[in-house]
Amino acid sequence: MSERGGLWQRLRRIVTPERAPDEDAAPSYRVRFVVGLGNPGGEYAMTRHNIGFWTVNRLARRHNIELKTSGQAALGQGRIGGREVALAKPRTFVNKSGIAVWNLVKRLKLDDARELLVVHDDLDLPVGKVRLRARGGHGGNNGIRSIIETTGSDEFRRLRIGIGRPVVNGKPSHEPDVVADYVLSDPPPDERDLLDEAVERAIEAIEVALAEDIDQAMARFN
């Protein structure tokens, strides 16, 4: 087990009461911490890569949760769906998101990776599509890659918002420079409208995940 994976276990023992010997059912973990990925700075605010920030900003406003700068993140805590939740936007750049997320995981004393939900852009989903995942690999997203590497776990929840891939000569491009320019640019107005609608669906999915559970949200929104 990695050092960080071991810390998840130690946090679990601190936060979760000891179970009676006959209580052998697997514990049910609810989302307690929602992180939106994006890059800090006004020049990136409206770019495709910041759609995680858009979502957390709008979710916070809807539920009167104030996001305040706290170390390497903007952090707010409040209630959504009758449950206590923390919302955050890392102030590191996307490819270093794991540093801020792991520090907040320890600060908030999450006892399992499954209490974390990360909202991020996804190149391989069509523009405006929303998908929830209970766990998995990074799928090429450097922010998710960083969180997996830094926390030592891929068990956290993800909410993916499709931004599509850039097209070169009529074909989707995987060229790193082309992709970088695309994710760090502002979408045109018609695409922005689709992404705004996707953010609204993403917020509804998060609200269901918090009020009910991740399985209900996946069944309803995937």
Tokens of 145: 């890659």
> Hey, what amino acid is at 222?
N
* Angle, in degrees to the nearest 10, between helices 3-15 and 142-151: 70
Helix and strand counts by DSSP (H, E) for the chain: 7, 9
How far apart are alpha carbons 26 and 32 in whole angstroms?
18
Contact 76, 62 (CB under 8 A): no
Q: Over the range 30-52, which residues count as b (16 or more CB within 10 Å of their CB) and which as e? A: bbbbbbbbbbbeeebeebbbbbb
Catalytic residue among 49, 63, 120, 174: 49
Q: Where are the alpha helices (DSSP H) in 83-188?
A: 97-108, 142-151, 176-183
**Cβ count near 21 (within 10 Å):** 6
Q: Is 49 a catalytic residue?
A: yes
Show which residues are catalytic. Answer: 49
